[in-house]
Chain A
Amino acid sequence: MAKNGNKLVERFKYLKRGKVINDGWTEESPRSRDSEDIYRRRWQHDKIVRSTHGVNCTGSCSWKIYVKDGIITSETQQTDYPSTGDDFPEYEPRGCPRGASFSWYTYSPARVKYPYVRGDLYELWKEERKNGGNPVKAWENIQSDPEKRSRFVKARGKGGFVRAEWKDVCELIASATIYTIKKYGPDRVAGFSPIPAMSMVSYAGGARFLSLIGATILSFYDWYADLPPASPQVWGEQTDVPESADWFNTKYFIIWGTNLPQTRTPDAHFMVEARYNGTKVVGVSPDYAEYEKFADLWLPARAGTDGALAMAMTHVILKEFYVKQQTPYFVDYVKKFTDLPFLVILREHGEEYRTDRFFRASDLNDSHKLDEWKTAVWDESTSQIEVPNGTQGHRWDGGSNWNLDLTKEDGSVIDPKLSFIDDSDEVTQVTFPYFAEEDGGTLTRGVPVKHITDSIGNKLIVTTVYDLMMAHVGVDRGLLGDYPKDYNDDKPYTPAWQESITGVNKNHVIQIAKEFADNAARTKGKSMIALGGGTNHWYHSDQIYRAILNLILLTGSQGVNGGGWAHYVGQEKVRPTEGWNVVSFASDWGNAARLQNGTSFFYFATEQFRYESEINKENTTWSSKYNNMHPADVNALSARLGWLPSFPQFSQNSIDIVKESRESGAKTDKEVIDDVVRKIKAGEIEWAIENPNDPRNFPRVFFNWRSNLLGDSGKGHEYFAKHLIGGDHQVMTDAKNSWQPETVNVSEEPPEGKTDLFVSIDFRMTSSGLFSDIVLPAATWYEKFDISSTDMHPFIHPFNAAISPPWQAKSDWDSFREIAKVFSELAEEHLPATEELLMRPLGKDSQDEIAQAFGKIKDWRTGEVEAIPGKTMPNLQVIPRDFPKVYEKMITVGPEMKKGYGGKGVKIPGEKVFEELKSRLGVSKKEGIGKGNPDLYTDKKAIDAILLMSGASNGKRAVEGWKSLEAKTGQKLTEIAEERAEEDFTLRELTIQPRTSISTPVWSGMEKDGRRYSPFTVNTEYNIPWRTLTGRQSFYLDHEMILDFGEGLPLYLPPLNKGPFLKRDKGVEDNGKSITVRYLTPHQKWGIHTMFTEAMPMTQLFRGWQVVWMNEEDGASIGIKDNDFIEVYNRNGVIAARAVLTYRIPKGMVYMYHAQDRTMGVPGTAINKKRGGTHNSVTRITLKPTHMIGGYSQLSYGFNYYGPTGHQRDTMAIVRPLKEVDWLEN
């Protein structure tokens, strides 16, 4: 008999009086509390599973996923991170409202549950396949019939999907891929998937397949404009930043254009809490952003003028802490760790002197190896030029002097001289470039110099980078020239000068600069600047960053815990990178992947280069040749000199190219390449980049996974829609109105609908899905296994399946494995093993980076140099492709990895690892070339393979890595990781509890002794050079093109004022109520890119989508009220949205927070009567030519490391009311 009471009786209990207390005010009642069980039962659950979210948010947070009654009900954050120490805030909890809403997707009506194919295409396909014929031929029939092709291409973006079976869809995809490889070449198959760190194995699934077939894999970090080009320029490092807990160590924190609470939600507390430990916080932002809430002072700098503010602060710091008084800590630091003492040659330029390249050892005498790559300083003690260790030349000369030790062979120590101010041979008037809104020009200022005679008797004038900085920044040291007299003199670059540009009070600039440096002097570098999208997404982001980094470097704050730059844009940090590289790009099978920089690819593929405008040119008389070239022409130059990659490579099929050379008698690979070079020189083999409108060079098959390319990162969205996709678009201009390139051949009308097959893999229907031909159902992050890492914290987090993939969803690893299987089966008949020509650019961290000495541009085409692959032009290589074996290679680890692997010049021996992999993963039993190799069939095995192969997750690998660096540097390094040599992470172990990653030489910071990760501490504490020309942190860049652009030293360049329309454009008839504004797209609060924005909790927490924030007075001026519909437009496209009016944002600019996507609540535009666009409908990319430099030290190409960025901030647009709401239901 149960002891629970009778419900009926219970119900009457409340009628009974209880005990009255508190002066008759309160009654203690004996009533039943059975109803409390209702909520108790809701809280009970079956299990909790550890997983995370893979969404390029940089969070990489560990979550508890609750499963109740077999259903995923919700998620909350894990709190079991390893401790940061007794007197330090912990990482728990990590997570944000976006992540907390993710479970909504599992069962939501937006879920893609089955494979979908565009109806028109599927009908055609089934028609062709009906007679049971050959599927590759079926695809050919559809593609070669213009009417058939047009039928489904024109249907893109118009609904009408039909459900299909995986088997049939894989066959369609494989057939299209095989047909494309045969007809055009493997590099016409392209894949885009961003940010491997957010789900490494899901990335690797696709990348491994595409690598094995020789397809083009597109970069993302530069394309997203998250890459700060200043980082490779200054440090020779893609990006390396402090983990967020290190913010607690800083004592002075400037937050500069990165909205920490809004976009680094799980990390912001470290900043907040540091304030209670006495840290001062200063915020720089044009609007009263969320982080200003935590600032002690808000500096409201106008959008895009941050460089001016930073230059003025540089001016103050140099004046106060180097001239008025010398700060010993700063002076010691810059002498040892920066290029300030290095010598630069001054050259006559017409009537004036300009700065030229660094002085090299080869200028003195050319007696040592690679002397032309060894830069020099003036030794204070011997009063002569000395070549310190650690330069680029030392890195590759085969010796072990690549270190920052200033001791010479004879035991004496070099004391690098910073300035010749006291013992100059002469004061030379040097001309510096100056850029400003209206009156760009030059500045001429006196610089103390030394006279030197070089090895062949030339008289050289040299000075130090330090003396150049002083003159350039305008710090008065009693020298003649156009120096400002004090801070109130509004000559460049004083606090008074910046006030009219930034709007920031000059006294605040002086105060903050002084405090920042004073704090650093007191704390030995614990001054930090967080920066991000607000300062980085500009055309001139590199110069903005370099100006800000001045403050960091001049105060000795970099390479110090609690100090330095803290750049957070994008989740670029793949901690277990060595193993991930092998698995992703299939180098274990001796493969070399086609790694293409995304920005250049999309610039051409979407024809955006046809819409260039000359107004982008600088307002200056400084530059001559390169700054006047069309960016497409510079890109073509860059490709042929081997700087940037360029896929597709040639108009001819790379398989046919080798075949023809063989047929004409070439026996060895070298003979093939010689033949190819001859043909290239003769113009018989054509560069695809110079013929982007040739149908042979279209990206024919396109894979888009883990990404919403079209609804999110596709800057110039309407150009994507028009030219790549061939669907409806709202491009408001004509190529005829635009600036056209000279060396790149173009057709009369830019082609439309270039791609034959666009495949998306996703668990939700985004703009990309809506325009795709095929949408495959992906497993969500709670339904698969994977790993994730970030630079915000030191852990590697697992994804685990809380439920198995429901409906017909598959993990990305499984999807590509299935496609590969069908591909290989069809290849048996249609695409047998062959070989092809692979072209690759001069790569960073290899000897390629010393290919082009002195940074002088020499074009083989004009006969300035010989065409030598790997030297004056790209590397060329004959590579075998065994297409029928792709599947077998896909699912096993190949034996080539026994030869060793690594990254960033660090090498790990592979024999032992290969054996360890066999026992950890088991061996493949499948008949074929992979039999007996380590098994890589499942995502779980791929995870354990990556972890075992990488230093961050395997102590032995870390020690081996440090050992390989010891040889080059002559420094003792293995101790950094030895204490953790026995650690060996596995998926299972990471699932039990997060683990702190192990210090490895592929990164520049240390997790040693429980300290917080701060970049470049290895450099400052272990004498390891930066991977730059001088081996030091760079203030000065001496490449010919950089100097041509006037950017040798950090300086301020105003944002490009891309007007909404060009004079020749038709424009839109003015209805009297419009306003032209700067159009900005900072990251939003209610989604991570387009992810989460459609989730119900997120829509209800604000206003639904999509909205544009603007100043309320600007709104009133065009007669709109809060929440009214508006149109935003310019020559690039038209957006329909609602306005959010506020006084928090200044006049003259609008925020359309990034990536709300156009899938929800977006009506038609009045201008074109078409569906309103995305936030990227009014943007268009322009490539900055200096980012295309290569083959030169730190300015060498690396995938996602250096290259032009797809910035979008320099945009102007028009806003006007949208009166009629038309849902376009026809």
Chain B
Amino acid sequence: MRIKAQVAMVMHLDKCIGCHTCSVTCKNTWTNRPGTEYMWFNNVETRPGPGYPKRWEDTDRYKGGWELKNGKLTLRAGGPITKLANIFYNPNMAEMEDFYEPWTYDYDNLIHSPKKENLPVARPVSQITGKFIDKPEWGSNWDDDLAGGSEIVPLDPNVQKMQEHIKMEYEKTFMMYLPRICEHCLNPSCVASCPTGALYKRDEDGIVLVDHDACRGWRFCQNGCPYHKVYYNWHTHKAEKCNFCYPRTEAGLPTICSETCVGRIRYIGVVLYDADKVKEAASVKDPQDLYEAQLGCFLDPFDPEVQEKAKEAGITDAWLEAAKDSPVYKMAIKWKIALPLHPEYRTMPMVWYVPPLSPIMNHITNEDELNTDGYIPAVDQMRIPIEYLASILAADDKEVVRKVLLKLSAMRVYMRGKTVGGVDEFRQSELVKEANTSPEEIEEMARLLGIAKYDERYVIPTGRREMDDDLHYKQGTCSLEDLAPAEGENLTIGLMKVRDKL
């Protein structure tokens, strides 16, 4: 057992209001500069729809993630030899049209237009060519709320898989939102894809980062990540990606996308896992077994043996306590209502999703059927096909998704019975049983999902600075280090350097 701790996230899709605040606050903080126009460390996709970049789930096209070849876990895009062959032209890479041509407007014309015949206007301008365009043709969220309808929705690879089941008709409309950041995987294929080893997973908290000093801009990480969450900065010629706001998490603060999430859908907490189990778990044969296999890597923070081993591995009491209070542990592991995004990519993603409920189809008008649970509709009548959710969150295993939806429904029925009454008690207890839950668990869930206080949503211990440096020295010098020459450097050259920097 080799215990490591990871700061992980759950997004409760049922709560997501699709507002994109997370995308904006993230962008303002991290990618609001030349070279990053098209980078959305955080984006929100309307589903069904092709997502961003376009059809990122099309693994045949982009060849991201892992596959089992002759029982061995290998990168879908191929090993070092294939890489070397494609190093100057990578056919799997997403192109600008898969992202979009960022545009701006000639705003200045509104104020400074000379007198003309017509009302001044700010024309759209390509941020790539600097030339006027008539109109943008695609964007990071071009199909928001099913914009584009049946011209665009069928591009969704999950829809293509189940074409005949989804009707793109007014009466049968359904939609959901899928906010996405880097998955900070246990088995990250971006890290494995990098020819220069510039990506790494931090030992202390599992955050996956690009070393900007080491990155050489080969860009294999970009499509090596099956979630397409690594971007190439054309200005700096380096890769950039979601950094889980480590400057904030190190200080015990939630990520920007989480704290600013006004739907309050995001939860952050510590999860303990056994690093020695990762390879084996990612290598199980049946993709539908990957979910359970990943759960099998996680460790119970209440288990005394785990606690002891954790301490041996240098995990402090504060982190252990945080692991016990972790909302991620509760939702993903204990209650099993949060699921990994596309487990079949074998990357063991660490951003988990609670699948959404949806309104029932309107053709059901039988009064008895509707009233059984005290006004709360049954899961099998809901608009979002379970099959669709299973394609995204369960390697097509519908039963996994159905179980979660049942639990959420049972929670609503139980809580209605508790607060209002009028619910058939026998049927309620049947439902609670069928959902494999209990009143105690339901009340705990209802609190975390519904009341969701700030310090219950985010349980983040601060970074362990005491392990690395001479903190007494750092207290006075931090961020002033560059004023003095580096240790061991030629003094003369060093002094010149000092002057340069001043």
Contact = CB atoms under 8 A, between A and B. Distances in A.
Interface of A: 1-7, 9-11, 14, 21-23, 25-26, 28-29, 31-36, 38-44, 73-77, 79, 87-90, 92-97, 100-101, 103, 108-110, 112, 116, 119-120, 155, 157-161, 251-252, 261-262, 265-266, 268-269, 272-280, 283, 288, 290, 292-293, 295-298, 300, 505, 507-508, 511, 515, 518-519, 522-523, 727-728, 765, 769-770, 1085, 1094, 1096-1097, 1099-1104, 1109, 1111-1112, 1121-1123, 1125, 1138, 1140-1147, 1158-1164, 1170-1171, 1221, 1223-1226
Interface string B389-420: 00000000000000000001001111111111
Sort A-B residue pairs by CB-CB distance and give the 7 closest, nearest first. Answer: A278-B416, A160-B115, A159-B113, A261-B17, A276-B450, A74-B28, A278-B415
B148 A1141 contact: yes
Q: Identify the interface centre among B149, B357, B488: most chain A CB within 10 Å of its CB.
A: B149
Given A1-B485, A22-B275, A1223-B121, A277 B446 contact: yes
B102 interface: yes
B94 interface: no
A283 B411 contact: no
Given A155-B115, A296-B376, A1159-B122, A100 B209 contact: no
Contact of B247 (A40, A252, A272): A40
Contact of A26 (B103, B278, B416, B487): B278
B108 interface: yes
Interface in B469-502: 470, 473, 477, 479, 481-489
Interface string B279-309: 1100000000000000000000000000000
Contacts of B209: 36
Contact of B263 (A108, A269, A1085): A269
Interface stretch (B55-63, B254-262, B316-324, B429-437): B254-262
Contact of A293 (B141, B175, B196, B414): B175
Interface string B335-364: 000000000000000000000111110100
Contacts of B210: 35
Q: Identify the interface centre among B114, B120, B473: most chain A CB within 10 Å of its CB.
A: B120
A277 B28 contact: no
Contact of B122 (A33, A87, A522, A1161): A1161
Contacts of A33: 202, 211
Contact of A92 (B110, B152, B421, B454): B454
B465 to A, nearest CB: 12
Given A2-B484, A2-B487, A76-B25, A273 B365 contact: no
A519 B422 CA distance: 9
17 contacts: A4-B481, A11-B214, A25-B278, A31-B200, A32-B213, A39-B243, A89-B264, A158-B115, A261-B17, A522-B420, A1085-B145, A1094-B107, A1097-B27, A1101-B141, A1102-B147, A1142-B145, A1145-B170
A109 B107 contact: yes
B2 interface: yes
Given A21-B276, A35-B211, A1125 B135 contact: yes
Given A39-B246, A1144-B145, A273 B449 contact: yes
Interface of B: 2, 14-15, 17-21, 23-25, 27-30, 32, 37, 102-105, 107-108, 110-124, 132, 134-137, 139-142, 144-152, 168-171, 173-177, 196-197, 200, 202-203, 209-214, 243, 245-248, 256, 259-264, 275-280, 356-360, 362, 365, 367, 370-371, 375-377, 408, 411-422, 445-447, 449-454, 470, 473, 477, 479, 481-489
Given A265-B262, A1102-B141, A1159 B370 contact: no
A292 B19 CA distance: 15
A1101 B144 contact: yes
A120 B115 CA distance: 9
Given A116-B111, A159-B115, A269 B484 contact: no
Contacts of A1102: 139, 141-142, 144, 147
A76 B17 contact: no
A7 B453 CA distance: 44
Given A21-B275, A507-B367, A1143-B169, A94 B262 contact: yes
A31 B248 CA distance: 22
A2 B477 contact: yes
Contact of A95 (B112, B116, B262): B262
Given A296-B377, A518-B422, A96 B135 contact: no
Nearest to A276: B450
Given A100-B28, A1143-B169, A290 B262 contact: no
Q: Identify the interface centre among A1097, A1141, A1142: most chain B CB within 10 Å of its CB.
A: A1142
Contacts of A39: 30, 243, 246-247
A728 B197 contact: no
A43 B248 contact: yes
A298 B139 contact: no
Nearest to A3: B487
Contact of B120 (A34, A110, A770): A770
A1160 B121 contact: yes
B365 A505 contact: yes
A1104 B103 contact: yes
A1147 B171 CA distance: 11
Q: Identify the interface centre among B152, B213, B479, B487: most chain A CB within 10 Å of its CB.
A: B213
A266 B358 CA distance: 21
Contact of A10 (B37, B213, B256): B213
A154 to B, nearest CB: 11
Contacts of B141: 1101-1102
Contact of B451 (A87, A515, A1140): A87
